Amino acid sequence: MLSVVLDYVDGYIARMYNQCSFFGDVFDWIVDISSSAVVYFWWGSLEPEAIFVTLTLLMMEIACMVIDIVAKSHSFAPVVQDRDWMTLILKFTM
């Protein structure tokens, strides 16, 4: 949970100071997936019957990263500018 909060704060500060870049976005994904992988493998070591679930979650996260990177590199990703509550919820859950 702390990782999600820190990720949100990091993104907010980067946007506030106009420090966003494609490299930063990809690097953020890689760091997030790496930390998730550590948690998934730790969970799998505690409960070996959960290996299938942990590997499935990891593969889903990697697939989302690849789709996001391809969409952003080809300018398919929408840029949301307004600050209504629904937009903030959508950004936080993504």
Nearest to 34 by CA among 7, 72, 71: 7
- Nearest-angstrom CA–CA distance, 62 and 79: 22
- Nearest-angstrom CA–CA distance, 54 and 60: 10
24-39 burial, b at 16+ Cβ within 10 Å, e below that, comes to ebeeebeeebeebbee
Angle at 84 between CA 4 and CA 1, to 5 degrees: 10
Q: Which pTM does this prediction carry?
A: 0.63
At 9-58, the pLDDT tens digits run 888 888 888 888 888 888 888 888 888 888 888 888 898 888 898 889 88
Q: What single letter denotes the amino acid at residue 25?
A: D
Is the alpha carbon torsion for 6, 12, 15, 16 positive or negative? Answer: negative
Q: Where are the domains of the chain?
A: 21-78
